[in-house]
Structure 1
């Protein structure tokens, strides 16, 4: 499991680095962006070096057992400080941020130097790819080594969680808020890794063993780190993914409305702003979807309004009874009633006879909705119910576009 998690983490980090380097080329003097690129690079390196095959090769090349462990953990310490630098430049004026960042980088250098010194004092002789943390936990130098590493890690991730949650409450851009929240969530999960490692140290003093929690520690560390990396980049690519989702939703709704629109257009061709192109061409219409969807909603309502003289209250009552008998209720029942009323109006118009008690113009058979999204969602329901009804009698040959069953 650890190998899989490390591999996915490395992949996420390298992808994030590639994405951010593209932005860095446009603004190479942005210190926050430069620090963020360093965070991604260090994260990818820490995951990569921790992979068992790479760990063995690093030890073989350097001739020092477990050298990969200190390399990976130095990368983690550095990226924790790098995250603080990013937040500093985001939160403070440039001059103050540069001054604080210098102190942070100095503390980072000192922490890394201390970590390497303690590792050298440890002088490990056995290569421990899978259980390095637990194997040396009773060595006093390693206790100091791990204590320093975990203290910096916990304080850094806790600060990332705290600051990102606070900034998310005041961020003006939607995707920036979401990115900060994802980053905060990732940092919070990372605290689980730090807590287990702290328990490894405390266990030597209070005589308890957290070996059973080793998989939990790695899961928290790797998943939390991956979420943090996603959160840092989410404000950039999130809107693009959302745009694709919006396009797919608009296309789906545009298609779902076709049967109802085609039937209404067949009866009232004047509702169409542009000449219809047939069912296949409509299915292949990929451009200007927002405009097309808006027009389709308007044209459906125009068609229903034009047919108001051919539907009456008795049609609604009959449709309501049939729907309740079929087990429908709520929005599904109301959509069924409107679909039946529309189908009845189309049938009566084709036969040239009006309803016994036509609806008034101000009550065209649907509740007023204040926004296009709500109106579209409702008409999709109606169109779905309409398509499920028995096929209406054939319209005259010059009636327009044939209805399509979906």
Structure 2
């Protein structure tokens, strides 16, 4: 129930934001604008596949058990990689961009090269890739590998977004607020990975907290992370639009 509400809301927001970001990328083509548009596109697909009814439909269509979960996790990895590339383009010198893109792309590829075969080796009708099934060592290993990647990438994104927000403070207030919200989003992503990952670790130590609590906390944290990021990366676009309108009015007044 919680998953459906949270991820359904994120999907609706994602469709709007992806359209806006794609329009911006077409009008202002650069690495960061296209990376952000692609990030939101794959994120929207991922949260759509995380909606239980959609996941069930996808499983029935493909004949692959847990197909929705696999697509959602692949999208999450790609989402993080695209966001890292976007932030590198915004936060670092141009000469570092190619190397940074290669590094993030390689990390994402390596993650998927481990996750997908492990998923296929573990996948069967009586298993779901959720914390409810972490009594299966392969499920626990799969989730921990996935969550470790999320933890690392969200940590880097929190650092880069926070630094960019500070640099824009007092100069580009809309951008500063947007990147501050993006930093909050990354922090929520860290909290999600830590919450879910620590539950799995404590489960293996026979001392987990109630599963019902984890099943509410983790989807809420991940959903809030998505919504904060949607807000954070669209606010600078709104600010730029307002500035252009102000300039047009000023020119018209002359």
> TM-score, normalised to structure 2's length?
0.88
Residue 207 (structure 1) aligned with residue 168 (structure 2):
no
**Counterpart of 1:232?**
233
Residue 133 (structure 1) aligned with residue 130 (structure 2):
yes
Q: Matches of residues 76-87 of structure 1 in structure 2 within 5 Å?
A: 76-87=76-87
**Counterpart of 1:98?**
98
> What is the rounded CA distance, in whole Å, between the counterparts of 2:31 and 2:241 in structure 1?
25
> What is the rounded CA distance, in whole Å, between the counterparts of 1:237 and 1:164 in structure 2?
18
Q: CA deviation at 1:204?
A: 2.9
Q: CA deviation at 1:242?
A: 9.9
Q: CA deviation at 1:178?
A: 0.5
**Counterpart of 1:183?**
182
> TM-score, normalised to structure 1's length?
0.56
Instruction: Go from structure 1 to structure 2 and tell me whether the alpha carbon gap of 1:241 and 1:31 turns closer, same or farther (over 3 Å shift).
Output: closer
> What is the rounded CA distance, in whole Å, between the counterparts of 2:73 and 2:225 in structure 1?
16
**Counterpart of 1:66?**
66
> What is the rounded CA distance, in whole Å, between the counterparts of 1:9 and 1:81 in structure 2?
19
> What is the rounded CA distance, in whole Å, between the counterparts of 1:127 and 1:10 in structure 2?
26
Q: Matches of residues 2-401 of structure 1 in structure 2 within 5 Å?
A: 2-28=3-29, 30-126=30-126, 128=128, 132-171=129-168, 172-210=171-209, 211=211, 212-238=213-239
Instruction: Go from structure 1 to structure 2 and tell me whether the alpha carbon gap of 1:63 and 1:87 turns closer, same or farther (over 3 Å shift).
Output: same
Q: CA deviation at 1:192?
A: 2.1
> What is the rounded CA distance, in whole Å, between the counterparts of 2:96 and 2:159 in structure 1?
21
Question: Which ranges of structure 2 fall in alignment gaps of 5 or more residues?
Answer: none
> What is the rounded CA distance, in whole Å, between the counterparts of 2:155 and 2:19 in structure 1?
27
Question: What RMSD in Å do the two structures reach over aligned CA positions?
Answer: 2.3
Instruction: Go from structure 1 to structure 2 and tell me whether the alpha carbon gap of 1:218 and 1:48 turns closer, same or farther (over 3 Å shift).
Output: same
Indicate the SS of the match to 2:130.
Answer: helix
Q: CA deviation at 1:190?
A: 2.2
The farther-off stretch of 138-147 and 227-236 is 138-147
Decide which structure has the larger Cα Rg and report it: 1
Instruction: Please say if residues 46 and 75 of structure 2, whose CA atoms lie closer than 8 Å, have aligned partners that are also in contact.
Output: yes
Question: Which ranges of structure 1 fall in alignment gaps of 5 or more residues?
Answer: 245-286, 292-406
Q: CA deviation at 1:21?
A: 0.9
Instruction: Please say if residues 13 and 230 of structure 2, whose CA atoms lie closer than 8 Å, have aligned partners that are also in contact.
Output: yes
Residues 175-212 of structure 1: CA distance to partner in whole angstroms, max 9, x if unpaired?
Answer: 11010101111111222211221123202322122312
Instruction: Please say if residues 187 and 225 of structure 1, whose CA atoms lie closer than 8 Å, have aligned partners that are also in contact.
Output: no
**Which one has the bigger helix percentage?**
2
Instruction: Please say if residues 42 and 76 of structure 1, whose CA atoms lie closer than 8 Å, have aligned partners that are also in contact.
Output: yes
Instruction: Please say if residues 59 and 66 of structure 2, whose CA atoms lie closer than 8 Å, have aligned partners that are also in contact.
Output: yes
Instruction: Please say if residues 39 and 82 of structure 1, whose CA atoms lie closer than 8 Å, have aligned partners that are also in contact.
Output: yes
